[in-house]
Homo-oligomer: A and B are copies of this chain.
Amino acid sequence: MDNFRKMWTELGMDLELHDQLIQDMSSLHKKTHLSQQNRPKTMDRFDRSFHSSHSGRVAEILEFRKNGGKMIGTFCIFVPDEIALAAGVLPLPLCGGSGWAVSYADKLFPRDICPLIRSTFGMALSKTCPYASLEDFAVGETTCDAKKKTWDLLGMKVMEVPQRRNEADRNLWLEEVYRFKGMVEELSGITVTADGLLETIKLVNQKRSALQQIDEFRKLDAPPISGLDALLVAQVSMNQDIHAFIKDTQALIEELQERVDKGISAYSEQGKKILLAGSPSPMGYAKVHHIVENSGLQIVADESCTGLRYFRDLVNEDLNDLDEMMKAVADRYFGIDCACFSPNSERIENIQKLIKDYNVKGVVQSILQYCHTYNVEAKIVEKSLKKIGIPSIKIVTDYSQEDIGQIRTRIEAFAELLMD
């Protein structure tokens, strides 16, 4: 631990505030994940990875950078990992999930933008983000107004995610993916080759496949892993070293299979199966998942960016030519059913399919406050669910703890409604 304190000091961090942040995150993790009764044993690996995200993982990256490695910060699942990795650059998602950090963003941002952005930059501004001085640069994107203008404010590099799904949009996005390739190649001095890209495509596919496999278990009558833990696995997947993560998921998948064979469920009681939809839940944030599963409901699918939206689709591996691979990568990301697209009927269709595949009985839309895209789209989702007789509830919330009682009351009423 002393070594880490030395490292944090060298990274220019505020140790006192950072202690507060870590304490806050650990205490929340204890109250949510660790308070569950029937966890798979292997989850302790992911608990450790969660805790090491500000310590051991930072030390790894520091070492990687000392040996000439390059790292970029990202804030969205639209930034293509495969291409960064193929240029020898480590892409690290830096979206903040800590409510503790939010108020530190007030000197830079209006208060009425989403807690995700405020938490992310609240950590940077309070000198409690260990990655702030580690990244070579950060790459933003144009998926929402508040993020888009934040990149302008900070003078950051930006990838333009188009807003519609026409041919011109697809072309623009492909150009952006090439431009991104140029950025990371310039940073590392390593040119992306067909062989190199194919290798990283396969590697990232392997990671997403592992997440898919874990999700498959959640389709069962008695899921061997909770929605809260599946969220933690997805959150960790965005921070941990990809090889180590794949290894840990293999162990988890083995244990989940054993549990299924022995008839061990993650839930001690029967409960209605729920789809969680809406805004992402970055590492450190699991408020709605926790409340929902504490109310006797089972989150068996999560279609957010920290759920299926991140790992639903793989990149076609059956290619030899670099340009074809670039196009395949671009296509895979262009298919993400983000609410930034107008219209976004793909998402409505995906949700309908999930409801069948996961035998879902109700939907909880978890919307981060001031996230206009998911908040307005929630009306479209609600309407489409009504048509097929699936009850849904929309929770608009932030990272604070103050509305927990109120949300619990609403979710419990929703759970009762589902029991009828």
B375 and A110 form a contact (CB under 8 A)? yes
A256-274 Cβ-contact flags toward B at 8 Å (1 or 0) = 0000000000000000000
Q: A376 and B150: CB pair below 8 A?
A: yes
**Contact assessment for A148 and B369 in the assembled complex, using a CB-CB cutoff below 8 Å:** no
What are 18 A-B contacts defined by CB distance under 8 Å? A110-B376, A112-B112, A112-B370, A142-B164, A145-B145, A145-B372, A145-B373, A148-B342, A149-B342, A149-B373, A149-B375, A149-B376, A153-B379, A160-B163, A160-B164, A160-B342, A166-B175, A168-B175
Q: Is the CB of A380 within 8 A of B142?
A: no
Which residues 91-123 in A have Cβ within 8 Å of B in the complex? 108-110, 112-113
Q: Do B160 and A372 touch (CB < 8 A)? A: no
Q: What are the residues of chain B within 8 A of A342 when measuring CB–CB?
A: 142, 148-149, 151-152, 158, 160
A144: contacting residue among B145, B164, B169, CB under 8 A: B145
Could you tell me the distance between the alpha carbons of A168 and B169 in the complex, rounded to whole angstroms? 9
Whether a CB of chain B sits under 8 angstroms from the CB of A146 is yes
Which residue of A108, A160, A342 has the most chain B CB atoms within 10 A of its CB atom?
A342
> Measured between alpha carbons, how far is A368 from B150 in the docked complex, in Å?
18
Q: What residues of chain B lie closer than 8 Å to A307, measured between beta carbons?
A: none
Taking the nearest CB of chain B, how far is it from the CB of A367, in angstroms?
A: 8
A370 touches which of B171, B176, B372 (Cβ 8 Å): B372
Task: Tell whether A149 pairs with B377 under 8 Å between CB atoms, given A160-B162, A162-B172, A172-B162.
Answer: yes
User: Is there a chain B Cβ closer than 8 Å to A77's Cβ?
Assistant: no
* Cβ–Cβ < 8 Å partners of A108 in chain B: 379
CB-CB contacts below 8 Å: A373-417 with B: 373, 375-380, 396
CA distance in complex: A109, B151 (Å)? 28
Chain B hits for A370, CB < 8 A: 112, 370, 372
Q: A372 contacts B113, CB within 8 Å?
A: yes
- Asked if A146 contacts B112 (CB within 8 A), the reply is no
- CB pair A376 B109 closer than 8 Å: yes
Q: A151-B342, A169-B172, A370-B372 are in contact. List 11 more A-B contacts (CB 8 A).
A: A109-B379, A110-B372, A112-B112, A145-B340, A149-B342, A149-B375, A149-B377, A152-B377, A153-B376, A160-B162, A372-B372
